[in-house]
Amino acid sequence: MTETQPADQAPEPFRAVLTAHRSLPPTGFLVLMGILCLINFVVGVAFWIVGAWPVFIFCGLDVLIIYVAFKLNYRSGRRFETVDLTPQQLTVTRVEPSGQRRTYEFNPYWVRVDLNEHHDGRTELILAHHNQRLIFGRFMNDDERRAFAQALRTALVRTRRATGF
């Protein structure tokens, strides 16, 4: 069964926000850091009591390194990309953790969605338009890239059909 729309009715705009998944929410991070601090403090005090006081310093250093690693991970999680499709334009806006924005624009009638699948199962999501290529969604996992490529292809077909292309 094919979908038909009246010629004067434009397709609904397609909008997607692509974000990286973070499995540990902020509350979980606080609980984890609290447990790590407690364990390292108890171990450090035990070593201090037996005369190995320098170990206490290294226990605190462990916690600091883990804290910094998580903070850097959460900072990179602020990166996202938006994909907006209208009959006139396909726009990809990349927002870096620093807040810097970069926008890429494509003609929806000529752009192609490519999903390169490597022999080891990794994928690469690409928008190709004449001699332009934009690799995007790098922070998504392979299954998410496959699903998004199919969703974007479907939205492009609907947009092209609705405008008579």
- DSSP annotation of 13 reads P
DSSP 82: E
Q: What CATH code is assigned to 14-21+79-162?
A: 2.30.29.30
Per the confidence metrics, is the pTM higher than 0.85? no
pLDDT at 95 over 70: yes
pLDDT tens digits along 44-75: 999 999 999 899 888 889 999 999 999 888 88
The full set of domain ranges for the chain reads: 14-21+79-162, 26-76
Angle at the Cα of 75 from the Cα atoms of 151 and 99, rounded to 5 degrees: 75
